[in-house]
């Protein structure tokens, strides 16, 4: 048991803490009695702004008008006690390299934290020039949920083919397991972050609700998928390369160990329709490698997590190693692919990489996949034009069990 309930149980295990238990219970009852409407709300903070938000819900007529992903890379706090928050439009992306812009003299979204909002919302017609009862009602409900709220007060926010018109209400909401009925939202997940982009004062307003991609992958539900983007190139047995999204079951790939080849027998992830945050490594020879933080790479013959690689560290290539000269985080790329070969490794963009991630200890993952490797070989081998297990995706098996299995350490001998 976690959270407040867990704290109460742990305190109750000792009679000496009985007084503390009663204080906690009294505080809990007081909070619940404040408002049945917002009993599940948790105040959002400025730390909830940065990150990747994926489209979660939208009104039926506006689904195609909402960007699938919104990524905020920075913000600035101003005003007394930092209560005013600015998100400059050019620090917001809707896909790789597609940043938002504005023709306004003030090209940013102005937000107020929950404390400042309660003081200013009724006295600041510049930030909140709302007119309809519906818009005013929504703002009042947001004010009661501890959200960070603002508007596109100075002009349209244009993000590639998408436009959020002047007056759009922008809110960052953080909630526990029960929904906040006042917002008309249901199914909110414990601890997740939500971004609301609700147009106001315009005909046919867009209503786009986003969910934090980072929180959606928390360990208690399902561990973060660690993969490669669609654009990554895999070395084949004949020395040629192919894009990750063109790789298929049965393809013979090149591996660094004794310059051998090894065939692909499964994918733990194979999705070309998503965007993910990746790490990007630049080597001293100019080679680039883009990969998820939890994927294992070879460094000096040892498997290390990408998140543990620093500038100056070695990354292994086919016959040698190179120094890392630059490490970038939160690089948005399209696609999520993780092929599995019989050897448990492959060459991506010229680098020697593992097929395994920290979701499950690599030695255990390799052992668990051995029956599938054997079955693949027994059903026809690589020359078969009709791959018997071409339908197989490990997503339906080992990754659904990953939360129950030991995860991988920062480095592993292979």
pLDDT tens-digit series, residues 23-56: 433 333 333 333 332 333 456 777 778 888 888 7
What value, to the nearest 5°, has the Cα angle with vertex 292 and ends 322 and 296? 55
Query: How far is Cα 30 from Cα 26, in angstroms, rounded to an integer?
Result: 6
Q: Is 227:338 a contact under the CB 8 Å cutoff?
A: yes
The number of beta carbons lying within 10 Å of the beta carbon of residue 108 is 23
Whether 223 has a pLDDT exceeding 50, the answer reads: no
In terms of residue numbers, what domain contains 156?
A: 38-217
Whether 144 has a pLDDT exceeding 60, the answer reads: yes
Query: How far is Cα 123 from Cα 144, in angstroms, rounded to an integer?
Result: 17
Confidence of residue 152 (pLDDT cuts 50, 70, 90): confident
Q: DSSP letter for 7, please.
A: H
Residues 94 and 204 in one domain: yes
Query: How far is Cα 340 from Cα 354, in angstroms, rounded to an integer?
Result: 9
Whether 22 is covered by a domain: the verdict is no
Query: Which residues face 57 on adjacent strands?
Result: 209
Residues 241 and 340 in one domain: yes
Whether 113 has a pLDDT exceeding 80, the answer reads: no
Residues 111 and 171 in one domain: yes
Q: DSSP letter for 284, please.
A: T
- Report helix, strand or coil for 209: strand
Q: Is 341:265 a contact under the CB 8 Å cutoff?
A: yes
Query: Which of 217, 243, 271 marks a domain boundary?
Result: 217
pTM given for the model: 0.49
Whether 363 is covered by a domain: the verdict is yes
The reported pLDDT for the residue numbered 128 is 61
Whether 400 is covered by a domain: the verdict is yes
Whether 13 is covered by a domain: the verdict is no
Whether 180 is covered by a domain: the verdict is yes
Q: Is 335:274 a contact under the CB 8 Å cutoff?
A: yes
Whether 404 is covered by a domain: the verdict is yes
**Which residues touch 25 (CB under 8 Å, ≥6 apart)?**
8
Residues 409 and 372 in one domain: yes
Q: Exposed (0-12), middle (13-18) or buried (19+): which is 334, by Cβ within 10 Å?
A: middle
């Amino acid at each position: 048991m976690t959270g407040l309930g867990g704290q109460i149980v742990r305190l109750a295990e000792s009679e000496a803490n009985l007084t503390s238990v009663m204080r906690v219970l009294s505080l809990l009852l007081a909070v619940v009695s404040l408002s049945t409407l917002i009993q599940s709300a948790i105040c959002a903070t400025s730390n909830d702004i940065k990150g990747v938000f994926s489209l979660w819900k939208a009104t039926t007529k506006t689904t195609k008008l909402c960007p699938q992903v919104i990524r905020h890379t920075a913000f600035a706090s101003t005003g007394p006690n930092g209560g005013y928050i600015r998100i400059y439009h050019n620090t917001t992306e809707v896909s790789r390299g597609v940043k938002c812009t504005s023709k306004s003299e003030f090209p940013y979204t102005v937000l107020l934290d929950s404390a400042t909002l309660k003081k200013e919302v009724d006295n600041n017609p510049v930030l909140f020039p709302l007119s309809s009862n519906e818009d005013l009602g929504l703002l009042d409900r947001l004010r009661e949920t501890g959200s960070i709220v603002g508007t596109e007060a100075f002009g349209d926010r244009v993000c590639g083919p998408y436009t959020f018109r002047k007056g759009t209400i922008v809110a960052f909401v953080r909630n526990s397991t029960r929904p906040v009925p006042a917002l008309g939202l249901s199914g909110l997940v414990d601890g997740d972050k939500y971004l609301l982009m609700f147009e106001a004062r315009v005909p046919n307003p867009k209503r786009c609700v986003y969910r934090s991609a980072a929180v959606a992958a928390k360990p208690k539900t399902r561990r973060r998928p660690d993969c490669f983007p669609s654009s990554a190139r895999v070395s084949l047995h004949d020395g040629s390369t192919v894009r990750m999204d063109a790789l298929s079951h049965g393809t013979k790939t090149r591996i660094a160990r004794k310059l051998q080849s090894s065939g692909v027998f499964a994918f733990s992830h194979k999705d070309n329709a998503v965007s993910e945050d990746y790490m990007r490594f630049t080597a001293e020879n100019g080679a680039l490698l883009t990969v998820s933080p939890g994927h294992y790479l070879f460094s000096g013959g040892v498997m290390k997590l990408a998140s543990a690689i620093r500038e100056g560290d070695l990354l292994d290539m086919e016959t040698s190693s190179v120094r890392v000269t630059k490490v970038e985080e939160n690089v948005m790329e399209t696609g999520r692919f993780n092929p599995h070969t019989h050897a448990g490794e492959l060459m991506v963009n010229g680098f020697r990489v593992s097929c395994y991630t920290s979701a499950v200890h690599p030695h255990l993952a390799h052992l668990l996949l051995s029956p599938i490797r054997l079955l693949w070989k027994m059903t026809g081998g690589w020359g078969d034009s009709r791959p018997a297990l071409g339908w197989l995706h490990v997503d339906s098996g080992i990754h659904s069990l990953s939360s129950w299995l030991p995860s991988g350490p920062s480095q592993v001998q292979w």
